[in-house]
Chain A
Amino acid sequence: MNTSKNSYVIIYMIVIVVIVSLLLSITSGVLHSRQADNVRLDTKKQILMSLSTFGNDQENKIYTDDNAAASYEQFITGYQMLDAEGNVVDTLRPVEDFDVKANEGEYPLYIAEIDGAKKYIIPLKGAGLWGAIRAYLALDEDRNTIYGVYFGHDGETPGLGANIVLPRFRAQFVGKHILRDGVLASIAVEKKGNTAEGKDQVDAVSGGTITSKGVEAMFLSSLKNYEKWLTVPTEVTDTLLNGILSDLAVGDSAAVETTDVELNEGGNK
Chain B
Amino acid sequence: MAEKKVNPFIEPLNKNNPIAMQILGICSALAVTVEMKPAIIMGLSVTIIVALANVVISLIRNTIPNSVRIIVQLVVVAALVTVVSEFLKAFVYDVSVQLSVYIGLIITNCILMGRLEAYAMQNKPWDSFLDGLGNGCGYAIILIIVSFFRELLGSGSLLGCKIIPENWFVDNGGCYMNNGLMMMPSMALILVACVIWVHRSINKDIE
A residues sitting closer than 8 Å to B (CB atoms) are 1, 3-4, 8-9, 12-13, 16-17, 20, 23-24, 27-28, 31, 34-35, 38-39, 41-42, 130, 154-155, 157-160, 206-207
CB atoms of B79 and A12 under 8 A apart:
no
A-B CB proximity, top 7 nearest:
A159-B34, A31-B90, A38-B93, A34-B90, A155-B101, A20-B79, A9-B65
What string of 1s and 0s marks CB contacts (under 8 Å) between B58-83 and chain A?
Answer: 00000111111001100110010011
Q: What are 16 A-B residue pairs whose CB atoms fall within 8 Å in the complex?
A: A1-B63, A4-B66, A4-B67, A17-B75, A20-B75, A20-B79, A23-B83, A24-B79, A24-B82, A24-B83, A35-B90, A130-B101, A155-B101, A157-B34, A159-B35, A160-B183
Report Cα–Cα, A20/B79, bound state, in Å.
6
Residues of B contacting A: mostly: helix
Report Cα–Cα, A4/B67, bound state, in Å.
7
What string of 1s and 0s marks CB contacts (under 8 Å) between B147-168 and chain A?
Answer: 0000100110000000000000
Report Cα–Cα, A171/B66, bound state, in Å.
59
Report Cα–Cα, A155/B32, bound state, in Å.
11
Considering only CB atoms, which chain B residue lies closest to A155 in the complex? B101
CB atoms of A159 and B183 under 8 A apart:
yes
Q: How distant is A9 from chain B, measured CB to nearest CB, in Å? A: 4
Tally of chain B residues near chain A (CB < 8 A): 32
Residues of chain A lying within 8 A (CB to CB) of residue B101: 130, 154-155
B175 sits at the interface (CB 8 A)? no
Report Cα–Cα, A229/B38, bound state, in Å.
41
- CB contact between B89 and one of A1, A16, A35, A155 (< 8 Å): that residue: A35
Residues of A contacting B: mostly: helix
Tell me whether A158 and B68 are in contact in the complex, defined as CB-CB below 8 angstroms, given that A12-B63, A27-B83, A31-B89 are known contacts. no
Q: How distant is B166 from chain A, measured CB to nearest CB, in Å? A: 11
Considering only CB atoms, which chain B residue lies closest to A130 in the complex? B101
Considering only CB atoms, which chain B residue lies closest to A131 in the complex? B101
Report Cα–Cα, A108/B31, bound state, in Å.
36
B100 sits at the interface (CB 8 A)? yes
- CB contact between A3 and one of B66, B86, B183 (< 8 Å): that residue: B66
CB atoms of A42 and B97 under 8 A apart:
yes
Tell me whether A4 and B100 are in contact in the complex, defined as CB-CB below 8 angstroms, given that A158-B38, A159-B151 are known contacts. no
Report Cα–Cα, A16/B35, bound state, in Å.
38
Most buried by A among B83, B86, B90: B90
Residues of chain A lying within 8 A (CB to CB) of residue B91: 34
Considering only CB atoms, which chain A residue lies closest to B92 in the complex? A38
B180 sits at the interface (CB 8 A)? yes
With A23-B83, A34-B90 known, 15 other A-B pairs at CB within 8 A are A3-B64, A3-B66, A4-B67, A12-B63, A12-B65, A13-B72, A27-B83, A34-B91, A35-B86, A35-B89, A35-B90, A157-B34, A159-B151, A159-B154, A160-B34
CB atoms of B68 and A27 under 8 A apart:
no
B197 sits at the interface (CB 8 A)? no
- CB contact between A159 and one of B71, B75, B86, B155 (< 8 Å): that residue: B155
Report Cα–Cα, A8/B63, bound state, in Å.
10
CB atoms of A27 and B183 under 8 A apart:
no
Residues of chain A lying within 8 A (CB to CB) of residue B66: 3-4
CB atoms of A3 and B63 under 8 A apart:
yes
CB atoms of B67 and A27 under 8 A apart:
no
CB atoms of A4 and B89 under 8 A apart:
no
Residues of chain B lying within 8 A (CB to CB) of residue A23: 79, 83
Residues of chain B lying within 8 A (CB to CB) of residue A155: 100-101
Considering only CB atoms, which chain B residue lies closest to A33 in the complex? B90
Residues of chain B lying within 8 A (CB to CB) of residue A16: 72, 75
Report Cα–Cα, A158/B188, bound state, in Å.
14
Q: How distant is B85 from chain A, measured CB to nearest CB, in Å? A: 10
Report Cα–Cα, A155/B31, bound state, in Å.
11
Report Cα–Cα, A42/B93, bound state, in Å.
8
- CB contact between B100 and one of A35, A42, A154 (< 8 Å): that residue: A154
Report Cα–Cα, A160/B32, bound state, in Å.
12
Q: How distant is B42 from chain A, measured CB to nearest CB, in Å? A: 10
Report Cα–Cα, A16/B100, bound state, in Å.
27
Report Cα–Cα, A16/B72, bound state, in Å.
8
Report Cα–Cα, A8/B66, bound state, in Å.
11
